[in-house]
Structure 1
Amino acid sequence: MSYSERWQELFGTTDGGATMSLASTATEPGTGGGGSGNLKHSGGPWTSASGTADELRTSTETSRSALGPGHEGVEAGAAGLASVAALKSVLTSWEERLRAVRDECEQLKGPLLAVAKEMGETETAIGNSFKGADGSAGKAGEKR
């Protein structure tokens, strides 16, 4: 079997025209994916993830800030109890964890938003590159 015949077999063609598609864009039942046949990216998930990271950062900081005042007076009111030292240790541990989550969310927000912008721009550039391929659009003054 020649390379050409093998490629035709892989791509499902006999006339030389490629018909390969991604599983996620298959339109026939049982051929995978079940998508619409149009592979399209949307900036929505990345923008949403960036917003969620920012919301989580804000709510984490709000919760962390509330821990200290919530424990005020515990040492004085429970003086002499061994649990006070354990409670202070747990408070410190949670404050550190919440700071780490807050900081990581802060670091993620910008890069996620950058991906959304980049993917959107890439999608636009790819779409623009196909204009003219089917004769529907072209440069001003260009004859087809």
Structure 2
Amino acid sequence: MADHCPRTLALSAFLDGQLPPRRLRDLRAHIDNCAACGEMLRELETLRSRLQALPQERLGFDLGAVIEARLPVQSRPSRTARRRGLRWLLFPLSGATALTLGLYLGSTLIRSVAGDMPENPPMLTMAVFDPIPPGNLCPVPKSCPSGNGFR
């Protein structure tokens, strides 16, 4: 019977009177036949009565008003009073800067200055995908391209 027992949340809603009439009847029938749920409901009733017996605490003042009074008042200038300056240049200038920087960085990847690279460079750009990173010892001498155990 414990497999079909309602959750504690349903028992609490039952105790608070927050269930629809049909669900209330079904749950009442279940509680009458299930000792575990009856015990849980009695525990919830005891807890509820003990919580209601606690004294009501009142703060006595509005904490929000006290905190707001301590905050410094900052006046905001109205929209018409703000100086526009060269703010209109912000978006086109930042876009042009990003485009120029992108073209420059892209061109450094493509161009090759004489003396920068040897005539037949090894494929070092793909070395990051090797099973053994450059500069490490090979676990088995046959696994390295040079065959000597070093790269």
TM-score (ref. length: structure 2)? 0.26
TM-score (ref. length: structure 1)? 0.27
Q: Give the number of the structure with larger relative contact order, counting CA–CA contacts within 8 Å between residues 6 or more apart.
A: 1
Higher helix share: 1
State which structure, 1 or 2, has the greater radius of gyration over its C-alpha atoms: 2
